[in-house]
Amino acid sequence: MPMVIAIDGPAASGKGTLAKRLAAHYGLPHLDTGLLYRAVALTVIDAGCNLDDHAAAARAAATLIADRLADPRLRERAMGDAASRISSIPAVRAALLAWQQRFAGGASGAVLDGRDIGTVVCPQAQVKLFITAAAEERARRRHLELLRRGESASLGAILSDIVARDARDAQRSTAPLKAAADAVLLDTTELDADEAFEAARAVVDRARVH
């Protein structure tokens, strides 16, 4: 039976790294759903349109192809904020919901990480994890990540961005960021990447037994 692992959580909680490791460990395809929203935002920007142009964003979402997810610009810090703005548009979410559900419906199962996987995209997933960490710790991690990539960044500015993004994601009317009722909460504030992986793997293995 194919297994779908749904991983949700706020920005810089470590869910993406964890999702990749779980996918590799269990031999499952992985989708970072945040890249979909970043790709839509980048498409809108490349077309010379404003991110608040709902019609342009809806068109970009409806015609999104997988090749767009390989654009290195999607990893830039500014694209995270742009994606958060785009993600509040219902028509964008509707188009990308179908995209994500097709991916999750593959014969082998899949690992998807995002903000509404367990609640909206894959509510029947066999495993649901909600990954979180203190905002200050998430800002520290993001700061280190940016420095390693050679990008200049202010820790204070990153923390402000994360707090603002948390609020925007949690308060949007369509598919707000929240843990599914049956999700396992994993706080990684005090965990390194290996400890977080082992904790998550234990949850998945228990689900596979049952």
The secondary structure of 101-125 as a DSSP string is: HHHHTSTTEEEEEESSIIIII-TT-
Taking the CB of residue 82, how many other CB atoms lie within 10 A of it?
Answer: 20
pLDDT digit string, tens, across residues 3-52: 999 999 998 899 999 999 999 999 999 999 999 999 999 999 999 999 99
17 has binding-site annotation: yes
Average of per-residue pLDDT across 191-209: 93
The structure's pTM equals 0.90
Decide: 133 and 187 in contact? Cβ < 8 Å: yes
9 has binding-site annotation: yes
What lies within 8 Å, CB to CB, of 118 at 6+ separation is 6, 8, 125, 128, 129, 130, 179, 180, 182, 183
150 has binding-site annotation: no
pLDDT digit string, tens, across residues 61-103: 999 999 999 999 998 878 988 998 898 899 999 999 999 999 9
E-strand ranges in the chain read: 3-8, 30-32, 109-114, 127-132, 184-187
pLDDT digit string, tens, across residues 107-126: 999 999 999 999 999 999 99
Q: In whole numbers, what is the pLDDT of the chain averaged over residues?
A: 92
How large a percentage of the chain has pLDDT more than 90?
76
Which option is the CATH number for 3-204: 3.40.50.150, 3.40.190.10, 1.20.1250.20, 3.40.50.300? Answer: 3.40.50.300
Identify any residues that bridge with 8 across adjacent strands, giving them in sequence order. Answer: 114, 130
48 has binding-site annotation: no
173 has binding-site annotation: no
| Longest distance between any two alpha carbons in the chain, whole Å | 51
Quickly count helices (H) and strands (E) in the chain: 8, 5
34 has binding-site annotation: no
User: Is 90 exceeded by the pLDDT of residue 57?
Assistant: yes
128 has binding-site annotation: no
SS3 call for 194: helix
What are the residue boundaries of the structural domains of the chain, listed by start?
A: 3-204
Average of per-residue pLDDT across 136-165: 90
What lies within 8 Å, CB to CB, of 184 at 6+ separation is 127, 128, 129, 130, 203
Query: What pLDDT score was predicted for residue 114?
Result: 93
Distance CA 66, CA 36 (A): 9
